[in-house]
């Protein structure tokens, strides 16, 4: 039968441009062993994400004029079912992600002030395959973000984005010793978006990858560094997007991570702090 388990994974992250960013996916929330999914069972992961920014960078990476700040808190619940169904040698996994966000933006020296709270766009991944080997883990999956959150083109801090997003994920974790104490992980995601309601803008595609290098101690303590890279890889089109034809977003971040697992409780807690650099056309 399927082993039932409960895992609450709380990630406290000061991460990057994800909330002011172009697409749906929030880079930087996975960290060490980003491409490793849990064994058979049911899991609940709770991500607590704090994001703060004090400036906007232009197409040259220079600081834009004026007072530009962003403060966001997101409580994100992810429900994962890892089944005993095998396809191509991997376990079939399904999950759903439900975000609750509070966003406060001040841009252009007060020209744009927006603060909104609410449920964001829900992600459903109905088909994910997870492989587990002696020296590696691997994952492939497809999912869709549904425009379930409230969106208004007049509120930049809207919980929803007003468009659908299809997302494909592919990644792997490699272990450098038989005991799996040393690991390196890479998880890539590609987003394709629909036309945005109310603006007729069709956002360009986005590509992300998250990475982590870490060491495990005693099977319960993980320590390492993590980061991400994020690019808008195709131009926006339609609506008022003409001015953004060449001004595509990009963001990079790196920082430390520490995690601890309380095995008898089935509880894991992770703390991660990431700092961005070399960003363009975003906070």
| Interval 39-67: pLDDT, tens | 999 999 999 999 999 998 988 888 888 88
Q: What Å distances lie between residue 219 and 212, 260, 262, CA to CA?
A: 17, 9, 10
**Residue 25 pLDDT > 70, yes or no?**
yes
**Residue 279 pLDDT > 60, yes or no?**
yes
**Helix H or strand E encompassing 210:** strand 206-217
Check if the beta carbon of residue 129 is closer than 8 Å to that of residue 168.
no
How many CB atoms lie under 10 A from the CB of residue 214? 21
pLDDT digits (tens, 9 = 90+) for 117-141: 999 999 999 999 999 999 999 999 9
pLDDT at residue number 18: 37
Average pLDDT over residues 242-267: 86
Cα 189 versus chain centre, distance:
9
Strands of 22-68, DSSP E: 41-53
Task: Pull the structure tokens for residue 109.
Answer: 């020296």
Per DSSP, the three-state class of 265 is helix
Say if strands 267-272 and 9-14 run parallel, antiparallel, or are unpaired. Answer: parallel
pLDDT at residue number 107: 81
pLDDT at residue number 114: 87
pLDDT at residue number 9: 41
**Residue 19 pLDDT > 50, yes or no?**
no
Residue count of the chain? 283
**Residue 11 pLDDT > 50, yes or no?**
no
Q: Model confidence at 78, in pLDDT bands (50, 70, 90)?
A: very high
Average pLDDT over residues 100-109: 87
Say if strands 9-14 and 41-53 run parallel, antiparallel, or are unpaired. Answer: parallel
Range from 103-117, 181-195, 226-240, 245-259 carrying the lowest mean pLDDT: 103-117
pLDDT at residue number 21: 54
pLDDT digits (tens, 9 = 90+) for 199-239: 888 999 999 999 999 999 999 999 999 999 999 999 888 87
Q: What is the mean pLDDT of the chain?
A: 89
pLDDT at residue number 255: 98
Q: Model confidence at 187, in pLDDT bands (50, 70, 90)?
A: very high
């Amino acid at each position: 039968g399927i082993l039932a388990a409960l895992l609450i994974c709380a990630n406290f992250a000061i991460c990057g441009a994800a909330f002011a960013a172009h697409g749906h996916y929030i880079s930087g929330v996975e960290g060490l062993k980003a491409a490793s999914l849990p064994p058979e069972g049911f899991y609940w992961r709770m991500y607590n994400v704090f994001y703060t920014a004090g400036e906007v960078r232009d197409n040259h990476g220079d600081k834009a004029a004026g007072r530009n700040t962003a403060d966001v808190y997101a409580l994100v619940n992810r429900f994962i079912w890892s089944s005993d169904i095998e396809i191509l040698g991997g376990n079939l996994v399904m999950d759903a992600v439900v975000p609750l966000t509070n966003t406060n933006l001040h841009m252009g020296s007060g020209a744009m002030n927006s603060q909104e709270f609410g449920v964001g766009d829900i992600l459903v991944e109905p088909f994910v395959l997870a492989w587990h080997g002696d020296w590696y883990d691997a994952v492939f999956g497809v999912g869709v973000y549904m425009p379930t959150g409230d969106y208004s083109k007049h509120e930049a801090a809207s919980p929803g984005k007003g468009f659908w997003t299809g997302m494909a994920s592919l990644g792997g974790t490699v272990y450098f010793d038989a005991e799996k104490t040393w690991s390196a992980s890479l998880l890539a995601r590609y987003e394709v978006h629909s036309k945005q309601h109310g603006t007729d803008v069709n956002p360009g595609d986005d590509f992300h990858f998250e990475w982590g290098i870490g060491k495990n101690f005693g099977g319960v303590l993980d320590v390492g560094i993590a980061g991400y890279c994020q690019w808008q890889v195709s131009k926006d089109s339609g609506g008022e997007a003409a001015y953004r034809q060449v001004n595509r977003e990009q963001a990079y971040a790196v920082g430390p991570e520490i995690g601890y697992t309380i095995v008898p409780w089935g509880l894991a807690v992770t703390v991660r702090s990431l700092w961005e650099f070399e960003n363009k056309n975003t906070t």
